[in-house]
Structure 1
Amino acid sequence: MEYVVTFYTQNGAFKFQRFLKEKGIEVMLMPTPRVLSSSCGIAATFKYEGNIQGFIIEEVEGIFIKDDFEYKVVYKE
């Protein structure tokens, strides 16, 4: 599945990127889709097929599954 993660701050996005890279997961930062959040201008996207509960760190505002041009909420604080 492809996920998009939103953050409260840009620093949080960079911290999350390092967090996933340390786990060997390829992650890319991108502009935040406006339909998801207006908090921070940076989002992260990655593909993963396992349980993502461990990816909910303090900096995460929301996690969404990207399905074509729709986003389904997995986690929203």
Structure 2
Amino acid sequence: MKYFATFFTHSAAIKFSRYLTKNKIENESCPVPRKLSSNCGIGVSFHYDLDDVDNLYIDDLEKIYYADNDKYTLYRNFDEFE
């Protein structure tokens, strides 16, 4: 399944991308569509086949969306529990 993650900081996006790469999870850093967030301009698109995406959580992760072409559906908002 394809996901898109947004972050509060650029450094968190870079850290998350490196974490995914280290764990052999296909990913790509790219601009965040304006309709998703205005916090940080960099997001990470990734493919993940396991059901529990929550175990990928890192600090400064804002939200994870299901991604289907240009359609995004919120999977989890990590900010609402802070």
State the TM-score, normalizing by the size of structure 1: 0.93
Residue 66 of structure 1: aligned partner:
67
Secondary structure of the corresponding residue to residue 37 of structure 1 = coil
- 1:7 and 2:7 are equivalent in the alignment: yes
In 2, are the aligned partners of 1:66 and 1:72 still within 8 Å (CA)?
Answer: yes
TM-score, normalised to structure 2, is 0.88
Measure how far apart 1:46 and its partner are.
0.7
Q: Which runs of 5+ in 2 are unaligned?
A: none
For the aligned residue pairs, the C-alpha RMSD in angstroms reads: 0.9
Aligned residue number for residue 47 of structure 1: 47
Q: In structure 1, give the amino acid aligned to 2:68.
A: D
What secondary structure, in the 3-state scheme, does the structure 2 residue paired with 1:64 have? strand
Distance in structure 1 (CA, Å) of the matches to 2:39 and 2:54: 22
Residue 25 of structure 1 corresponds to 25
Letter in 2 for 1:4: F
Q: How many residues align?
A: 77
Q: Is the 8 A contact 1:16 1:59 kept in 2?
A: no
Shift of 1:48: 1.1
Residue 62 of structure 1: how far off its partner (Å): 0.4
The letter of the residue matching 1:17 is S
Distance (whole Å) between structure 1 residues aligned to residue 69 and residue 17 of structure 2: 23
Contact 1:65–1:73 under 8 Å retained in 2: yes
